[in-house]
Amino acid sequence: MLALSFVLIVMDQVTKWIVVNQIPYGKSISIIPNFFKLTYVKNTGAAWSLFMGNQVLLITMTIAVLFFFFFYLYKKEDINKLDILIYGGLLGGIFGNLMDRIRLNYVIDFFDFMIFHYNFPVFNVADIFIVLAGIVLIIKIFKEGDNGVV
């Protein structure tokens, strides 16, 4: 799980490094016109810019979540391959964005989609890992029922 997390953190940080070094801040590169572009933005908030500018709060909340997450994993008796993917994805994504917050005081985002005339919030690779792992975790919980999964 930690090896997977490490690989995902590296993927996240490398893509952010490429964006910072190839796209001027605030500028975009159109990939699919009127649908998808790469736009370098600095996000001082969480999803949909919640808590914008409150880096201390966001860092504190993230560390608290990680503390409870590791405590949960320590107590969990059986971890299967799906759990490794889920928790590895969550950890990789969470740490990828936490590293930005601590190092830069913001998170580097760049995937920029226009979906049915809605400019979806710009996001990054770490966000993808968090969302996908979260979706799979929710599906797993519903499939297994209330048997102490979480």
Q: Where are the beta strands (DSSP E) in 6-130?
A: 28-32, 36-43, 107-115, 118-119
pLDDT for position 148: 53
> What are the residues whose beta carbons fall under 8 Å from the beta carbon of 51, sequence distance 6 or more?
45, 57, 58
Closest residue by Cα to residue 129 from 93, 97, 82, 102: 93
Q: Look at residue 13 and tell me if it is in a domain.
A: yes
Q: How far apart (Å, rounded) are the C-alpha atoms in residues 125 and 112?
A: 12
The count of domains in the chain is 1
State the DSSP string of 121-147: PPB-HHHHHHHHHHHHHHHHHHHH-SS
Q: How far apart (Å, rounded) are the C-alpha atoms in residues 17 and 136?
A: 28
pLDDT (mean) for 108-117: 95
Instruction: Sheet with 118-119: list strands edge to edge.
Output: 28-32, 36-43, 107-115, 118-119
Closest residue by Cα to residue 121 from 16, 12, 41, 19: 41
Q: Look at residue 150 and tell me if it is in a domain.
A: no
Q: Which domain holds residue 112?
A: 2-144
Q: Look at residue 35 and tell me if it is in a domain.
A: yes
Q: Look at residue 12 and tell me if it is in a domain.
A: yes
Catalytic positions: 109, 127
Higher pLDDT, 95 or 75: 95
Q: Look at residue 8 and tell me if it is in a domain.
A: yes
pLDDT in tens, 3-62: 999 999 999 999 999 999 999 999 999 999 999 999 999 999 887 777 887 889 999 999
pLDDT for position 110: 98
Q: Look at residue 149 and tell me if it is in a domain.
A: no
Q: Look at residue 99 and tell me if it is in a domain.
A: yes
Residue 147 confidence class, pLDDT cut points 50, 70, 90? low
Q: Exposed/middle/buried for 40, CB within 10 Å: 0-12, 13-18, 19+?
A: buried
Per the CB < 8 A criterion, the answer to whether 108 and 39 are in contact is no
Q: Look at residue 82 and tell me if it is in a domain.
A: yes
